[in-house]
Structure 1
Amino acid sequence: MELNGKVAVVTGGTRGLGAGLARAFAEAGAQVVVCARRPPETPLKDAEFRAVDVRDPQAVHRLLADLPRLDVLVNNAGGTPYRLLADADAERHVRVIDLNLTAPLTVSLAAYEHLRRSRGSVVMIGSVSGGRPSPGSAAYGAAKAGLESLARSMAVEWAPEVRVNTLVVGLARTDAADAHYGGPAGVAAVSRTVPLGRLAEPSDVGAAAVFLASDAAAYITGASLLVHGGGERPAFLDAATVNKGS
C-alpha cells in the first residue's frame, strides 16, 4: 500500500486522529499537506502545514490552487462539543453541521479538478454517530450520516476518474480521550464496551485510510469501511435475565 510520489491533503491534521492520518500517509511515502485553523503545538515532521479554515470557500480554493497536483483528499476536520438539542438554538447546531458536512463538500468540490486529472480519491472520515442515536451530539450525528450519503452519491457522479469512500470511525483514543471519558478509569471502562477491548488508535484509522487511497483498493468506491473494533455490545444483552452466555 505504497503511495510514493502521491500528494495527500489532510484537513484538520494537526492533532488527534488527523495527526495520525497525516503520519500514516507520510509513512506510506506520500507528500502530505495538513491544513487547520491553528498551527500544531509541535512542528510536523513529515508534513507541510497550511493555515486554512475549511468553512471558508475562498481560503480552500487558494490552498488547492497553490498545489501542483493532488492525489488524495482526506476530509477529517470536524468535531462537536457536548450539547443537548434543547440547550442551544438552531444556529449553534447549524455550525456543527457546517463544519462536519458542508465543509467536506466545499473542500471536495474545490479539489475535484485536481483529483480528476490524477485519477485520485477522497476519503471521508465518518463516525458511528451517523448510524445510531447520538444524544448530546445530535447535529454531529446527523452531519456524519449526511457525509456518508454524500460520499456514496459523489462516488457515482465522479466515477470512474475519482474514487470516494468513507471510514466509519468508532470510539478512539486521542489527545482528548481522558477529558472526554473522565480520565484513565473512564477510558478503561469505555474500552471494555468495545468487542476488541480497546479504543481505536490514530494509527488504526490511518492504516485504513491509506488502504482506501492505495491501488489495493482500486475497485472500491462508494463504500463505508467500519473501523470500530466490532461496534458496541447491545445493552439488552446485559439487561436480559436469560442467555447470559450469548
Structure 2
Amino acid sequence: MDGTDPSRRTVVVTGGTRGVGAGIAEAFVRTGARVVACARRPPEVPAPGCEFVPVDLRDTVAVHELFAGLDRLDVLVNNAGGTPYGLLGERDAERHARVIELNLTVPLTASLAARHHLAAARGSIVMIGSVSGARPSPGTAAYGAAKAGLDSLARTMAVEWAPEIRVNTLVLGMVRTELSALHYGDEEGIAAVGATVPLGRLAEPREIGEAAVFLASDAAAYITGSSLLVHGGGERPAFLDAATVNKEA
C-alpha cells in the first residue's frame, strides 16, 4: 500500500467495515487521518475517505503481510470480533474456541504484527472490549471469557511495551448497529432494551468512534493500561425493582 501525506497519521481498524468498526473508522477519517479498514468482506457502503483492505484476520501470515505493507502506523484499533448467541451446552468446544480466537487471539496477532511500526511512531493500540467480560454472559460465554482476557492482555501489553506504545481498552455496553434487530427485535424491542440503560438508550457507533479517537490522541498521552467504560451508566441492578421497601421514603 502506498503512503500519502507523510504528516498524516495512519490508523488501522480491524473489522472496520460495518457497525461499531465503521463508526470508529469514520471518526478517525474526520480527524484527517489516513484510515485503513480491514475485514474479510468489503463494506456494502464504502465510507468516504476510508481505504479497504481484504484480509482474513485469523490468517497470521496475511495479517503480518498487511502491516508489512504499510509505510507507517500510528494507531491500531482491534475492533474485529463478535459472536452468535448460543448456550454453552448447545455448541461443541471447537465452536467456542473459534469465538475465543476471533475475540482474543486475533487482537494479539494484529498487535504483535503492528508493534514495530507503532513503536517507531510512539503510537497506541485501542482494544474494543465489552461489559460481557466483567459479568456473567449467558448465551455468549466464550465471548465474555475472551473479552475478559482481552482486558488483561491490554493491561500487560501496556506495561511491557511502554513507553513507546500506549495500550487501552474501550469497554462497550450495548450499541445500536445494523444488527441490533437480531439481538433485540423490532424498534419497540430496541427502545425497551435502551430504557434499561441509565442514559435511556443504546450507544451510537459514532460515539464509540469519538471515544477511540480520544484514547489515541495527545489528550490521552498519559493514559495507558486503562479501561474506559462506554456503557451509558451500565445496567440498573434488578434488585432495585424487586425490593419491597417504601420507594417514596
Q: TM-score range by the shorter chain?
A: over 0.9
Deviation (angstroms), 1:179: 2.3
Corresponding position: 1:33 with 2:36: yes
Contact 1:238 1:244 in 2 (8 A): no
Q: Measure, in 1, the Cα distance between the counterparts of 2:68 and 2:154.
A: 23
User: Is 1:61 matched up with 2:55?
Assistant: no
Is 1:229 aligned to residue 216 of structure 2? no
Deviations 1:9-29 (A, max 9, x none): 000000000000000000011
Is 2:140 the partner of 1:112?
no
What amino acid is the match of 2:107? P
SS at match of 1:231: coil
Would the aligned equivalents of 2:26 and 2:47 in 1 still touch at CA under 8 Å? no
Q: Among residues 74, 79, 88, which one is paired with 1:76 in the alignment?
A: 79
Once residues 192 and 245 of structure 1 are traced to their aligned partners in structure 2, the CA distance between those partners, rounded to angstroms, is: 21
Cα offset, 1:186, TM superposition: 0.7
- TM-superposed CA distance for 1:42, in Å, is 1.6
**What percent identity do the matched residue pairs reach?**
72
The runs of at least 4 consecutive aligned structure 1 residues that moved more than 4 Å come to none
Match of 1:151 in 2: 154
SS in 2 for 1:179: helix
Bigger CA drift: 42-51 or 105-114?
42-51
1:181 matched to 2:184? The reply is yes
Superposed, 1:15-54 pairs within 5 Å as 15-54=18-57
Three-state SS of the structure 2 residue aligned to 1:74 is: strand
Where does structure 2 lack aligned partners over 5 or more consecutive residues?
1-6
Deviations 1:122-166 (A, max 9, x none): 000000000000000000000000000000000000000000000
The runs of 5 or more residues in structure 1 that have no matched partner are: none
Displacement after TM superposition at 1:43 (Å): 2.3
- For the residue of structure 1 that corresponds to 2:129, the secondary structure is strand
Relative distance call for 1:115 and 1:128 in structure 2 (3 A) is same
What is the aligned-residue RMSD (CA, Å)? 1.0
Alpha-carbon separation, structure 1, partners of 2:104 and 2:75: 18
CA distance in 1, matches of 2:202, 2:49: 25
Counterpart CA distance in 1 for 2:246 and 2:203 is: 29
**How far apart are the structure 1 equivalents of 2:12 and 2:248?**
47
In structure 1, the partner of 2:101 is 98
* 1:63-84 deviation digits (Å, cap 9, x = unpaired): 0011000000000000000010
Q: 1:215 to 1:245 in 2, by over 3 A?
A: farther
Code of the aligned partner of 1:151:
A
Match of 1:198 in 2: 201
Alpha carbons of structure 1 residues 243 and 164: separation in structure 2 relative to 1, 3 Å: farther
Distance 2:128 2:238 in 1: 26
TM-score (norm 1): 0.97
Partner residue in 1 for 2:244: 241
